[in-house]
Amino acid sequence: MQPLTSSDRIALEADAGFIKPNDRLASVERLEIYSRSYWFRVMDSLYDDFPGLRAVLGRRAFHRLSRAYLADCPSRSFTLRNLGSRLEEWLQRNPQYSGNRHRLSLDMVRLEWAHIEAFDNAAEKVLGPEDLLELGPGFRAGLQPYVRLITLQYPVDDLRIHVNRASDDREAASNAVLKQKHRNLTGRVSRVKPERIFLAVHRLNFTVYYRRIDAEEYRLLSAFRDGQPIGRAIRDAFENSPASTDEERSRLEKWFAAWAELGWLCPPAKSRKRG
């Protein structure tokens, strides 16, 4: 169980008056059982949901960040699945908890929250060829709710995949191998260099994948997600792009083919709600 801080203990002692003691435990000790299990439960949930952030910050800093976040942003949902939903926004306001790895930490949190959403967000009916018969500039498509688009300043997608592999190896490896892997992971975190990345976090056959995409593709998919008509979405996506008209057409064909194969396009959100 999580150890209580001195301020936890003082608060418990102040609140314990309404609890009956018994022949083995004082009122505050009985209340403490609940307090400890609360912290254990919520800290454990963040620990499971943000392994990449743990790798970036290290165990102690992650623990400090988790305590502070949960004190400021306790669960507002009936499910622990949503416990980390406010972590990125909170960390932006509290950079002291991520020190000199603040930008890297923010990227990792953004990726890990997108991962959670991609895992179990809804999958709507996929737009098929019959839906695209009347394709014109005013046509609107939607983006599957399980496809999350994010921008990154660091290649945390690679880092997170590495963290997953290290975690998978944990049970199989000896202590010596584990220590070596931990050193490798720490080294990888400290060597990571800034790199502008546009990422689609999505799922296929119930497994979450990270797919790097072009800036223009990112803008176009974002416009679909936001309900813009296709003509305007394409115009905006290629604004300031050096690509020629032929190149634009070729890239659009390639993207639409990939999206069709992945089933990423669906009816726009408004029509889904009406339906």
Residue numbers at the binding site for other proteins (CB under 8 A)? 18-20, 22-25, 27, 29-31, 33-34, 37-38, 41-42, 74-81, 119-123, 145-146, 203, 206
| Integer Cα distance of 33 and 29 in angstroms | 7
As given in the structure block, the two tokens for residue 7 are 């301020």
Task: Compute the least distance from the CB of residue 238 to other proteins, in Å.
Answer: 32
Q: Is 167 left (phi over 0), alpha (psi -120 to 50) or beta?
A: alpha
| CB 18 to other proteins: min, Å | 6
Question: CA 145 to CA 269: how far, in whole Å?
Answer: 9
Of the pair 81, 188, the CB lying nearest other proteins is at: 81
Q: Which of 26, 27, 9 is nearest to 18 (CA)?
A: 27
240 alpha carbon, distance to own chain's centre: 30
Q: Is the Cβ of residue 82 or residue 241 nearer to other proteins in the bound state?
A: 82
> Residue 3 Cβ, how far from other proteins at the closest point, in Å?
16
- Nearest distance in Å: CB 208, other proteins: 9
Residue ranges with strand state E in 155-272: 197-204, 207-213, 265-266
Nearer to other proteins, 122 or 176 (CB): 122
CB of 117 or CB of 217, closer to other proteins = 117
Residue 8 Cβ vs other proteins, minimum distance, rounded to whole Å: 14
Residue whose CB is less far from other proteins, 20 or 60: 20
Distances (CA, A) of 88 to 20, 91, 149: 41, 5, 15
In our burial notation (b when 16+ CB lie closer than 10 A, e otherwise), range 141-170 reads bbbbbbbbbbebebbbbebbebbeebeeee
Of the pair 37, 96, the CB lying nearest other proteins is at 37
Which residues lie across from 197 on neighbouring strands?
152
Of 145 and 227, CB closest to other proteins: 145
State in angstroms the smallest separation of the CB of 173 from other proteins: 20
At 127, which amino acid appears? L
CB of 171 vs other proteins, minimal distance in Å: 13
* Cβ-based burial of 210 (10 A; exposed 0-12, middle 13-18, buried ≥19): buried
CA distance 74 to 39: 11
